[in-house]
Amino acid sequence: MALYQKLCNELKLEIMQKAAMVPGMNFFVMYVDRFEDAMPGNDITTQTPRIRAEKIMNEDGVPEDNSAWRQRQNLIKVDAASEKVMMKLINRPSTKKMWPRAPFPESENVEENAYHFCDDDMLCIRFIGIVTAPWTRPVTNPEVFTGIKRVSMEFAFQFVNKKYPEYPFECECEDVEHWGFCPIVLDKFLAYFPDLEKFYFIKKLLKEELHQPEWAVKLLSSKRDRQGQIKTKGKVEVLSLPRITRKQVRKHHFKETYKKFRDIARREGLVSYEDMERHYYEVRECDSEVMLFHDEIWGHFHMLKDLWATQKNTLNLGHEVKEVELGLLVHIDPPQPEPVPARRPIKAAKSQKAKAARSSS
Ligand SMILES: [Zn+2]
């Protein structure tokens, strides 16, 4: 901070604009409390879903979600220059105040000033409760959802109809059973957002969840001689590499895959987002085949598209067909700091002594 204070305003502005994380990833909890609607004076035939800031804290009392909006709130407090930049960013027509729900006065509580940039940011929803389609039970507070254009959900950690991730999108259909995932539940969920344009699943890229490339399979299944060299006719270049372990192959393949996703996203103008810890890149269906989850994720989306096609051909459906674009965002965990290599003080001291002896002689 000390160095930052000495910078000229132009540099400060540039730093702040970069640090503001636009487009950013914002995490919110959405919950439907049917109990509230059943209270005296309320209408049981309607529902009042809420969206609020993630309230999971770590042991230091710091929120666990790394939303871009939290970073922007922190930047406001740095100095006058940063406040100016942030307020200019926030005071745009497409900015949505997520919490509280009504246009309440500015609050001291940071949680209550969560701003989402509808034109740029991505909203990641963690859902608690039971999805009820708004055409079945009209939403009493539509202003909570208006303007939101892009919504996402963590593929392995989402709460639709369940608090725990064992059975994501569990099916409650009476006539058919959608194994593991119910497109109807997702369709109802998407209907909460009247201005939604695209829905994404977010998937963390994991080493263990990648198909191994052909060269790696060849490499790892080939026989080695006593020197650890691979016995081969030498058709594949990589086979000439000395002693490469299974772990190294995986690590290399993982890094290359992530880089490839990132480069394609940049080159093809696909979306990318940033939060305080990670970068998220859009990955197209044609590029994600390397992931073990490829078939599952896109299979879910194809089921959803089939559902929309059926709905369009249904007479007297009773509600509008809510068809949006579907996509996939991939991220990796931030790199961990390299462990400090264990020192061998005795040997080091010995060699130092030897050096000293050599140089003096
Ligand atoms: Zn179902």
Q: Are 27 and 65 in contact (CB under 8 A)?
A: yes
Distance from residue 163's CA to the centre of ligand 1 (Å): 18
Would you say residue 124 lies in a domain?
A: yes
Q: How confident is the model at residue 103 (pLDDT cuts 50, 70, 90)?
A: very low
Ligand 1 center from residue 201 Cα (angstroms): 18
Query: 177 pLDDT exceeds 90?
Result: no
Q: Which of 29-38, 154-163, 174-183, 277-286 has the highest mean pLDDT?
A: 277-286
- Does residue 239 lie in a domain region? no
Q: What distance in angstroms lies between residue 296's CA and the mean position of ligand 1's atoms?
A: 16
pLDDT at 146 over 90: yes
Ranges 150-164, 222-236, 313-327: which has the least confidence:
222-236
The predicted structure's pLDDT at residue 189: 93
Structure confidence at residue 102 as a pLDDT band (50, 70, 90): very low
Can you give the pTM of this predicted structure?
0.82
For residue 38, report the distance from its CA to the centre of ligand 1, in Å: 26
Per residue in 21-68, pLDDT (tens digit) is 999 999 998 888 777 777 787 778 899 898 888 777 777 777 778 999
**What is the residue-averaged pLDDT of the chain?**
83
pLDDT score, position 138: 93
Query: Structural domain of residue 161, as residue ranges?
Result: 2-209+253-356
Average pLDDT over residues 99-120: 70
Residue 323 amino acid letter? E
The pLDDT of residue 172 is 75
How much is the pLDDT for 182?
Answer: 87
- pLDDT score at 9: 84
Over residues 277-299, mean pLDDT: 95
Nearest to 189 by CA among 141, 125, 146: 125
**What is the per-residue pLDDT for 77?**
87
Q: Give a yes or no: residue 245 inside a domain.
A: no
Q: Separation of 173 CA from ligand 1 center, angstroms?
A: 4
CA of 185 to the centre of ligand 1 (A): 7
CA of 176 to the centre of ligand 1 (A): 6
- State residue 282's pLDDT score: 98
Q: Is residue 228 part of a domain?
A: no
User: Does residue 20 sit within a domain?
Assistant: yes
Would residue 272 count as lying in a domain?
Answer: yes
**292 CA to middle of ligand 1, Å?**
23
> For position 298, what pLDDT does the model report?
95
Q: How far is CA 314 from the centre of its chain?
A: 35
Residue recorded with tokens 């004076």: 41
Distance 331 CA to ligand 1 centre (A): 29
Nearest CA to 20 among 117, 142, 163, 157?
117
Percent of the chain residues topping a pLDDT of 70: 78
Q: How far, in Å, is the centroid of ligand 1 from the Cα of 229?
A: 54
**Is 234 contained in some domain?**
no
How much distance in Å is there from the Cα of 53 to the middle of ligand 1?
30
Give yes or no for a contact between 115 and 90, defined as CB atoms under 8 angstroms apart: yes
119: in domain: yes
Q: How confident is the model at residue 223 (pLDDT cuts 50, 70, 90)?
A: low
CA-derived radius of gyration, the chain: 26
CA of 301 to the centre of ligand 1 (A): 14
Average pLDDT (137-156) is 92
Range in 12-21, 31-40, 259-268 with the lowest mean pLDDT? 31-40
Task: Find the 164 Cα to ligand 1 centroid distance in Å.
Answer: 18
Q: Considering its fold, how many domains does the chain have in total?
A: 1
Residues less than 5 Å from ion ligand 1, measured at CB: 171, 173, 178, 182, 184
pLDDT of 308 strictly over 60: yes
Mean pLDDT of 248-270: 94
